[in-house]
Structure 1
């Protein structure tokens, strides 16, 4: 049966309008020709034309709006017809209309005259076209191209205007902050304990992050407790720096970060979006969802935080993020290019793949040179996993420049389906769990396939040219039986019904995590690892505002 992915791919945007004036600059900067990336997803129209015109006419745009309008109105204008709302005075009779003071709105009020002039020119052009068949043919091709690619043309024009109206965020003076105390390289961040902390946590409030999907919004979905939000990870032999969104976004200025993998990597991507979005101006941040891409634009920093759906990393019959066959997953272990072409020129790549492998011991594998997914064989899971990582690592070695791109891999995120493993034999999966596993003396046995864990670690260790940094989240997450979405999630895009909640063995989701929650700590470790590395040069062109 075809099932819709539980990710709830619902477009979300920050719908608030920024009514505060932008920073006033003494002079408009000299214009440079932007280097637009070849990826069409990097040139997405930010606003409708109507919205853009409304923004241009806002008085809050101040002198910058007036200057921009003045640039557009350099030619002499005809006087406008008499105004029906003009007031009479005792001064000598005025001309048909008295020009208002120079301002953005008054200049733009003359746009109808410009359009009238343009219409007159168009009539002259049409007359010339009738006299010249060759010119008519050329014009026809031009109009056809404009019809087919008009959206891109308008987008480029709006991007240019956007540069004037919305300057980049001022560079944050990171040196003015207290020194960042990073843990020593020898400290194992994956070994530690969970400490209750209701002073500094949660890192953000669920209701304040409008970008969260329903799948992970547990409080909004009716979860009665909120204790899972107040646990801080404390490594054994060092301290984990607090996530500083401004410091992180300065590191990300003009760069791209992409999470590649399954819905657990999307879970972590949503967490990161919520961690950074409070410092971004309203109207200057948004999410665009298109195909396998979820892209968060931080316009002031010309940076993107992206998620790319590829649950097996290689090609499969489950590559549609919205619809796929859960019980008939088939992969092509040696085919990766249709996904990997989208990973080029990304500054930070964060991969994962595990949970989709755990349905069966054997994996359906498409035969080489086959023309249909129905032509497949079955192979042992670990053997197929090894083939996939050979393909993946080979692509990295051949296509990634380690001087400009950093690669990370997230280890296993656990399932909590067997409560007897943490001493609750009468429990049902993770349902009604409200506390982490505490006072433990040894690792939990949650039936992970540690062969897959070890295989990834070996591949990362043997990379020759492109370092792959493993971020070990497995053991710390093992103890968080309390933090899953459980019965407070969605299934096929809808909240669970009372009948479904009455059958937790079937419907409780003990895979994904409530937000804010455990993935925030994963990102805290990712943040630490990124800031611990020397900043590589970024040869990629600056991203245009989206």
Structure 2
């Protein structure tokens, strides 16, 4: 049997089917000239191509570098709200509480190196609410996220006087802006994971001297306060860290970590416990929060206790921000000072966020300077300082968190526009 070689019978390319070699040559020349022209336009005007191929550069305040590379400078910004805002929490309402130096506290602006000497633009509350129409923003974490929330609520209220208090879906507090159909709320979950009190009678620690009971922390179970709202919000901002210390959980009432309903063996110390909870809660967020939801993790808000801890006469009655050369003496983890926990916790947070789609909102460095901006002794209640000490952890409002608001809202708008 004869074997025949297979021949490709498909037609030649269109331009090779012209009968005249001259026509084929002309067509090839036209194609070559068109490609050369396109290349020259790209080389001379690359921006016209990059606009179509690359996302636009982030505006000032919306890039990660804007938060860690910059300086504070005096200016004359006007706060967008005052002590009459109905969303205030008493201890942070420094205007009403007569906190000295409020004009100075609100005279500083953050100048990112990337922004050519310009400050981060102030939020336009009406424009922001308009761009968020029909959407919901949720904060989850401890009272420093509540501090942040109040600044945002009071700022946005300047564009919607009909704003109402909102407490649904298990929210600790929040606001609804009817003019724009926008919800902004806070879910209190100080450890993020579920934790429950176990009296000594029901504890494995029965008989140990001084132990009154333990707090059972289920590292694989989110707190009820936020576990069921993962699909409700369009934007979520998480934090934890300030409760992870022996001042909140001393030896007589320690944290004990459980997984699958059983205590971890060997038992974990509080910092190791934080690390496993971070990883577990971030895994839960990635699994349960929709991909389209914009997710942020706010890094630690630094404390400024000078001369001792909060319960040992720590003070923060300062009139000026710290200098950059002073920061390490306050916050370097090697120095074992009372304020070192911010950087210590941040290292665990940044490690846990690697490879996730949760954006780090790193407000720590810019806030380290602002030893001048805490409520300190102006807490709104006569005996508050005698009972609780100075507040060198939370922030006066209006004050530093308003700059956080400018940054957060810039990042929200930029990332939502990217889609």
Shared topology, TM-score over 0.5?
A: yes
Structure 1 Cα separation of the partners of residues 110 and 404 of structure 2: 10
Structure 2 Cα separation of the partners of residues 219 and 357 of structure 1: 31
Q: Does 2:349 align with 1:349? A: no
In the alignment, structure 2 segments of 5+ residues that lack a partner are 1-57, 198-212, 332-338
- Alignment correspondent of 1:544: none
3-state SS of the aligned residue for 2:392?
strand
- Alignment correspondent of 2:141: 261
- Alignment correspondent of 1:364: 255
- Alignment correspondent of 1:458: 351
Residue 395 and residue 213 in structure 1: after superposition, are their counterparts in 2 closer, same or farther (change >3 A)?
Answer: same
In the alignment, structure 1 segments of 5+ residues that lack a partner are 1-179, 319-326, 422-426, 538-546
Matches within 5 A, 1:20-31: none
> 506, 511, 525: which is aligned to 2:393?
511
> 91, 98, 101: which is aligned to 1:225?
101
Any conservation in 2 of the 1:488–1:496 contact (CA below 8 Å)? no
The Cα shift of 1:523 comes to 1.4
- Alignment correspondent of 2:403: 521
Q: Does 2:269 align with 1:380? A: yes
> 362, 373, 385: which is aligned to 1:483?
373
Any conservation in 1 of the 2:257–2:273 contact (CA below 8 Å)? no
The Cα shift of 1:486 comes to 1.3
3-state SS of the aligned residue for 2:73?
strand
Residue 533 and residue 369 in structure 1: after superposition, are their counterparts in 2 closer, same or farther (change >3 A)?
Answer: closer
Any conservation in 1 of the 2:59–2:410 contact (CA below 8 Å)? no
- Alignment correspondent of 1:413: 301
Residue 416 and residue 401 in structure 1: after superposition, are their counterparts in 2 closer, same or farther (change >3 A)?
Answer: same
3-state SS of the aligned residue for 2:398?
coil
- Alignment correspondent of 1:201: 78
3-state SS of the aligned residue for 1:270?
helix
Residue 194 and residue 329 in structure 1: after superposition, are their counterparts in 2 closer, same or farther (change >3 A)?
Answer: farther
Residue 192 and residue 330 in structure 1: after superposition, are their counterparts in 2 closer, same or farther (change >3 A)?
Answer: farther
- Alignment correspondent of 2:360: 470
The Cα shift of 1:331 comes to 2.2
Q: How many correspondences in the alignment?
A: 329
- Alignment correspondent of 2:320: 435
Aligned CA-pair RMSD: 3.3
Any conservation in 1 of the 2:140–2:187 contact (CA below 8 Å)? yes
The superposition leaves residues 298-332 of structure 1 with CA deviations (integer Å, 9 ceiling, x where unpaired) of 112111001011111111238xxxxxxxx965422
Any conservation in 2 of the 1:333–1:365 contact (CA below 8 Å)? no
TM-score (norm 1): 0.55
- Alignment correspondent of 1:533: 415
Residue 367 and residue 428 in structure 1: after superposition, are their counterparts in 2 closer, same or farther (change >3 A)?
Answer: closer
Q: Does 2:124 align with 1:236? A: no
Structure 1 Cα separation of the partners of residues 389 and 62 of structure 2: 43
Any conservation in 2 of the 1:216–1:489 contact (CA below 8 Å)? yes
- Alignment correspondent of 1:391: 280
3-state SS of the aligned residue for 1:305?
strand
Residue 479 and residue 329 in structure 1: after superposition, are their counterparts in 2 closer, same or farther (change >3 A)?
Answer: farther
Any conservation in 1 of the 2:219–2:259 contact (CA below 8 Å)? no
Structure 1 Cα separation of the partners of residues 127 and 327 of structure 2: 36
TM-score (norm 2): 0.70
Structure 1 Cα separation of the partners of residues 74 and 245 of structure 2: 32
Residue 419 and residue 194 in structure 1: after superposition, are their counterparts in 2 closer, same or farther (change >3 A)?
Answer: farther
Any conservation in 2 of the 1:430–1:481 contact (CA below 8 Å)? no
Structure 2 Cα separation of the partners of residues 337 and 420 of structure 1: 32
Q: Does 2:219 align with 1:333? A: yes
- Alignment correspondent of 1:249: 129
